[in-house]
């Protein structure tokens, strides 16, 4: 059982783990977000609650409750 969208969300690995635990990592977001990779600065469209930069494989995640704003997307690490 999960606790919804509550809990720590400041660390990208924690967000990615939470989204995976909830089973939302491969689920499409209501509205895709344009993300600029913090590692290589490539811009790409994040369509699922977890996504990887197509240039460098930096993993990004956001909880469903926070998916309306790209500022809430957190990086978890390359190939995380």
Note the pLDDT tens digit of each residue in 49-76. 999 999 999 999 999 999 999 999 999 9
Reported as a pLDDT band with limits 50, 70 and 90, residue 7 is low
Helix (H, G, I), strand (E, B) or coil at 48: strand
* pLDDT value of residue 1: 37
Residues 11-35 pLDDT 10s: 999 999 999 999 999 999 999 999 9
Q: Are 26 and 48 in contact (CB under 8 A)?
A: yes
Give bridge partners of residue 74 from the DSSP assignment.
61
Provide φ and ψ at 46, rounded to 5°: -90, 115
């Amino acid at each position: 059982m999960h606790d919804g969208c509550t809990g720590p969300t400041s660390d990208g690995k924690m967000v990615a783990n939470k989204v995976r635990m909830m089973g939302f990592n491969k689920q499409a977001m209501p509205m895709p977000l344009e993300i600029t990779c913090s590692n290589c600065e490539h811009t790409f469209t994040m369509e699922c609650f977890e996504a990887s930069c197509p240039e460098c494989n930096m993993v990004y995640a956001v909880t469903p409750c926070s998916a309306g704003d790209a500022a809430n997307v957190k990086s978890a690490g390359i190939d995380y």
